[in-house]
Chain A
Amino acid sequence: MNETLVTVENVSKKFCRDLKRSLWYGMKDLGSELVGRSHNYDGRLRKDEFWAVKDVSFELKRGDFLGLIGRNGAGKTTLLRMLNGLIKPDKGRIEMHGRVGALIALGAGFNPILTGRENIYVNAAVLGLSKKETDARFDEIVEFAELGEFIDSPVQSYSSGMAVRLGFAVATALEPDILLLDEVLAVGDFGFMKKCFNKIGALKKKGVVIVFVSHSMHMVSANSNKVVLMKDGFHKEYENPADGVEAYFNLFQKNGDQGIEKVCIGNNSINFHHVDIHTKVLRPGDSFVVSILYNTDVDYLDAEVDIAISTSHEVSNHFQATNKAYKKVIDLNKESKSLCIKINDVRVNNATGNIHIAIWSHNREELLFWCRIPVEFRGVDHATGNSFLDVFYDIK
């Protein structure tokens, strides 16, 4: 199991912002390539170029599941495409051992006019399977894709979910040593996603290396044993996925006064200038009050306010509520200029976390305010988890 299947050493890739210039650089690169020069241009950037991926290095051994995360445009897909050999690195070296399966796009090469059956053979051939091998796996593919009698209908009559299922079924039938997944699983319905993850789990067990690009931190932390976080082409590797996920969330924090992160503080007519919860520590059973001060030129009647509590232990929110759920009407009018919301009886033990506050105009037509306030949840003695235990004796 200790065999290294993927080695990435100081890999860099540059892109050009300007299309016309990019095409011209393409011509020049082609020229250099043909006279035997490597087209990295001594590793210097030309006009309008930038590093999309810079000095990335990591190693993956059999059975590794790498979560590749980062904001949009951080270079994740570019890196994946270099791993797949679609584009050449401008610097560095990539070594891949074994057969590489890539789901950078499900159903690439599907022809809408042809039937599912015909497309299976075309797609399998694209991925490198011979007709004989495809024949042997045909039933398995159809079964996994749950296409039934639709297999002989043209693909243009398929729903998007059906096309996705077919694509995934064909790609995993390849039985790769290394599987590259680029956000492709986000499209299927819940039942199919479950199936995909079972399939991925089975591949993992067989020792397949999986590189998984996703914005779903839940999927990343649930599956990976390693995380690489990309930021502006640079990378950081985390042996502990939870650290990586936390660092990912930190990317979105603009820490201001007292660590309060304000993503949105109003528009031209309304301005939220102060928010506070009057405490930094909450114990189980405590209540807290969010007080908000604002100035507004127009009345925002029947606004909606979301209050959520998240803890660092959990991927999703520990608690979330809106004023609608509790049948409270909130009007933001010119006169009052302040708003207080009380949350009773918070039950969280031993965790650091955030209180999220989002304020929307009527019917959620516009997001007016959004901030996160860091908070520490203290436990009672001997409590270790983040949930609060309560005991009742009257359960029938």
Chain B
Amino acid sequence: MKQNTDQQPGNNFIHSNITVYSPESSVKHPVHMIYYMFRDLFASRELAWRLAIRDISAQYRQTALGLLWAFILPIANTITWIFLSSSGIVTIRNTALPYPIYVFTGTMIWAIFMDAVNAPLQQTTGAKQMLAKINFPKEALVMSGIYQTLFNGAIKIVLLFLVLMLFKIFPGWTLVFFPFGILSLILAGTAIGLLLTPVGMLYTDIGKALPLLMQFLMFLSPVVYPIPSTPWAAAIFKLNPITPLILTTRDWLTDFSPEYLGYFFLINVLVIVLLLVVWIIYRAAIPILIERMSA
């Protein structure tokens, strides 16, 4: 595996820059590996930014509705659930917030999380051609995905604020924590997405099953309805690691005191650990994926 590359231009590469490729596994030298992981991450920032700008501007240049696409789906979802509950087709337990706001904040936050989950596989698949032909720090793809999720998320959040104002709900001082909530959702989403990417690149089954699984996961999270009162269902909801992330983020936005703050922090620590692990897997997987994609 790569033991030393220097993507940084302008260095005196002649003396310092030796790259060795051998069949040896990079995991055998963990200290080296972690050093190169962070160095590549650092080296990828310019490229990640460029790729994000490229994708965002390309994404909106050829659409008539433009930025609307960032929130059409969550809005459609919100309208569906407001219809379902107000028509009495489904009965939803009283929520502390007005139900439309509860659904709207929930689906918007969920949509940001979804974007984060989808991004790694999407970015890596989209960069297939580039991966097969150019050597560059692969971290750029993941970072670019995060930037794009942040950009699309920002549009959603602006809309979210407008709607909150309309309903005369004004966020309190806890709003300063709201970005941390969003960030931990994005990191959790990225970790899950990154975990699925190596297998998803080899077998398209993953990409096909992902929307289905995410739909299922949404119904096990307090997105469009609160945690149910039936004990066994409530237990499942509380086991779902996404639950504290969504609830805490929503509480910070709408000026409620978060109920599961401890759990929220625990999940965040786990997410960071998971991210590191899946990052290692991702790096190890890329050369194998390239080989199998083009063989």
Binding site for B on A (CB under 8 A): 3, 15-16, 22-23, 25-27, 29-30, 32-40, 81-82, 84-100, 102, 104-105, 108-109, 111, 113-114, 118, 121-122, 125-131, 133, 174, 177
Contacts and interface: CB of A to CB of B under 8 A. Distances in A.
Contacts of B14: 3, 97-98, 177
Contacts of B133: 86, 102, 104-105, 108
Interface residues of B, number: 58
6 smallest A-B Cβ distances: which pairs?
A105-B133, A128-B7, A26-B292, A125-B50, A94-B21, A38-B23
A39 B133 CA distance: 22
5 contacts: A26-B289, A34-B27, A40-B23, A89-B21, A128-B47
Interface string B25-64: 1111000000000000001001101110110011001100
Contacts of A104: 133-134
B20 A95 contact: yes
B234 interface: no
A93 B21 contact: yes
Contacts of B62: 113
Interface in B225-270: none
A178 to B, nearest CB: 10
Given A102-B133, A109-B130, A118-B53, 14 more contacts: A26-B292, A29-B288, A30-B285, A33-B25, A35-B27, A38-B23, A86-B287, A96-B19, A98-B14, A98-B17, A127-B134, A127-B136, A129-B9, A130-B10
Interface in B277-295: 280-281, 284-285, 287-292, 295
A113 B60 CA distance: 10
Contacts of B5: 85
Nearest to B59: A113
A130 B46 contact: yes
Given A108-B134, A113-B62, A133 B9 contact: yes
A133 B10 contact: yes
Nearest to B50: A125
A122 B54 contact: yes
A118 B57 contact: yes
B28 A39 contact: no
A91 B24 CA distance: 9
A98 B21 contact: no
A32 B1 CA distance: 13
A113 B288 contact: no
B18 to A, nearest CB: 5
Interface of B: 1-2, 5-10, 13-14, 17-28, 43, 46-47, 49-51, 53-54, 57-58, 61-62, 127, 129-136, 198-199, 202-203, 280-281, 284-285, 287-292, 295
Contact of A23 (B6, B18, B51, B292): B292
A82 B21 contact: yes
A92 B20 CA distance: 11
A98 B58 CA distance: 34
Contacts of A122: 50-51, 54
Nearest to A13: B291
A95 B19 contact: yes
A94 B136 contact: no
Contact of B135 (A85, A121, A129, A133): A85
Contacts of B24: 38
A99 B284 contact: no
A129 B8 CA distance: 7
Contacts of A16: 295
A131 B49 CA distance: 11
Contacts of A27: 199, 202
Given A27-B202, A85-B2, A38 B13 contact: no
A99 B17 contact: yes
Given A15-B295, A22-B292, A90-B23, A99 B134 contact: no
A102 B49 CA distance: 22
Contact of A125 (B28, B47, B135): B47
A33 B284 contact: yes
A105 B129 contact: yes
A137 to B, nearest CB: 10
Contacts of B288: 26, 29-30, 33, 39, 88
Contacts of B290: 81, 86-87
A15 B288 CA distance: 11
A97 B16 CA distance: 8
A92 B21 CA distance: 9
A204 to B, nearest CB: 17
A241 to B, nearest CB: 27
Contacts of B289: 26
A39 B25 CA distance: 8
A34 B202 contact: no
B218 to A, nearest CB: 29
Contact of B58 (A25, A95, A105, A113): A113
Nearest to B55: A111
A94 B281 contact: no
B176 to A, nearest CB: 32
A64 to B, nearest CB: 16
A174 B135 CA distance: 13
A252 B26 CA distance: 42
A102 B17 CA distance: 17
Nearest to A176: B13
Contacts of B54: 111, 114, 118, 122
B47 to A, nearest CB: 4
Nearest to A178: B19
A21 to B, nearest CB: 10
A89 B46 CA distance: 29
Contacts of B18: 95-97
A108 B130 contact: yes
A15 B295 CA distance: 6
B25 A36 contact: yes
A104 B134 CA distance: 7
